[in-house]
């Protein structure tokens, strides 16, 4: 990895230059909750002052900029009994500033599924390749357990990664593109003191995480397949799908054909979907493989913490805790995993 040191003033200039020619998405405060805590979202910004890099977390992940909630995959027109199909990929450059390590790790996991050898998605790849990513280190967010699932540090998947050293940023450069764009402002080589300060910050952050026992989780889950824990939590589940929507890695979707009222055009529309919905595993003929909440909730956890591990040697979950925060019923991965761990000890 290549490192540089960037003054705070230069960083402001850097973002302002970026704003001149690129769509910039960044954490922005959108309000406060009932307890007065600020609420942030990744939104398009027009000025540096709109950005709040000290944000703790965002309600929604940045997933929608790579996997939109709704996306038109193709449009067909029908004229003289002949179909004509048009496909458009999003290629306009975009920069996302201030992603945390968990969210960049989430993109790396999505890359494995959607930009891998088996079923590459050109829709995802075009958005991913044309998005310039500037990450930033931060103190652990409330409830976050990214360290337990190995997502608190990130070594690739971004262009630039910042660590705040109070009066300056320590910048990790991970792409030629990142290196070139950084040339627009003045930087300097890190000194021994810079390196030292950077490592101190990293150690401070790493030491603040609350432990979560995830040791041997895939096997534990197999042993706990019939556990009462699933029903206990599923009885509370509203099947509202909010967990999957705010999740930075949930990528399941449905596709529907939308035909224009005059029958002359048709669009294939993809919509991100949730495995918690009653009809998620409904098949032709009306059979439903997961008609009850218990099975649906269990399989979400199985996909995240067991199935994905089998396929990719790592969990799909990055420990951002957005699902736990968004759930009105209080269902959250920390308590569910905790229950599974302790049930067998009892």
* Chain residues in the site for other proteins (CB under 8 A): 30-31, 33-34, 39, 41, 43, 59-60, 64, 69-70, 81, 235-242, 245-246, 258-263, 271-272, 274, 277-279, 293, 326, 328-329
The residue (of 218 and 241) whose beta carbon lies closer to other proteins is 241
- The residues with which 271 forms a beta bridge, in sequence order, are 70, 254
C-beta separation of 241 from 276 below 8 A:
yes
C-beta separation of 341 from 213 below 8 A:
yes
Tell me the backbone φ, ψ of residue 115, rounded to 5 degrees.
-125, 20
**d(C-alpha 242, C-alpha 328), whole Å:** 9
Shortest reach from residue 264's CB to other proteins, in Å: 9
**d(C-alpha 324, C-alpha 291), whole Å:** 23
**d(C-alpha 288, C-alpha 277), whole Å:** 11
Shortest reach from residue 276's CB to other proteins, in Å: 9
Shortest reach from residue 288's CB to other proteins, in Å: 10
Tell me the backbone φ, ψ of residue 97, rounded to 5 degrees.
-105, 135
The residue (of 298 and 306) whose beta carbon lies closer to other proteins is 298
The residue (of 196 and 260) whose beta carbon lies closer to other proteins is 260
| 217 token code pair | 């989780």
Shortest reach from residue 278's CB to other proteins, in Å: 5
The residue (of 106 and 154) whose beta carbon lies closer to other proteins is 106
The residue (of 17 and 32) whose beta carbon lies closer to other proteins is 32
Is residue 107 exposed (0-12), middle (13-18) or buried (19+ Cβ within 10 Å)? buried
């Amino acid at each position: 990895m290549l490192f540089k040191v960037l003054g705070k003033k230069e960083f402001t200039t850097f973002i302002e230059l970026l704003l001149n020619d690129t769509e910039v998405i960044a954490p922005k405060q959108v309000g406060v909750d009932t307890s007065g805590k600020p609420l942030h979202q990744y939104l398009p910004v027009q000025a540096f002052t709109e950005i709040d890099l000290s944000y703790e977390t965002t309600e929604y992940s940045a997933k929608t900029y790579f996997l939109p909630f709704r996306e038109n995959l193709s449009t067909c027109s029908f004229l003289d009994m002949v179909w004509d199909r048009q496909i458009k990929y999003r290629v306009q450059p975009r920069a996302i500033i201030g992603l945390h390590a968990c969210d960049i790790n989430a993109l790396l996991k999505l890359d494995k599924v959607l930009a891998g050898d088996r079923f590459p998605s050109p829709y995802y790849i075009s958005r991913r390749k044309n998005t310039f990513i500037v990450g930033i280190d931060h103190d652990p967010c409330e409830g976050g357990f990214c360290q337990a699932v190995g997502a608190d540090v990130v070594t690739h998947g971004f262009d630039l990664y910042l660590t705040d050293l109070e009066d300056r940023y320590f910048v990790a450069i991970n792409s030629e593109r990142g290196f070139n764009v950084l040339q627009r402002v003045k930087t300097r080589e890190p000194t021994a003191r810079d390196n030292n300060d950077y490592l101190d910050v990293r150690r401070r952050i790493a030491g603040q995480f609350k432990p979560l026992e995830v040791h041997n989780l895939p096997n534990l889950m197999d042993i706990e397949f019939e556990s009462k824990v699933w029903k206990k939590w599923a009885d509370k589940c509203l099947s509202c799908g909010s967990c999957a929507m705010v999740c930075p890695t949930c990528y399941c979707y449905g596709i529907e054909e939308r035909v224009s009222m005059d029958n002359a055009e048709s669009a294939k529309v993809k919509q991100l979907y949730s495995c918690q919905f009653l009809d998620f595993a409904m098949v032709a003929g009306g059979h439903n493989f997961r008609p009850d909440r218990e099975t649906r909730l269990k399989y979400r956890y199985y996909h995240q913490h067991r199935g994905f591990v089998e396929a990719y040697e790592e969990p799909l979950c990055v420990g951002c805790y957005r699902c736990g925060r968004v759930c009105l019923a209080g269902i959250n991965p920390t308590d569910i995993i905790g229950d599974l761990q302790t049930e067998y000890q009892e």
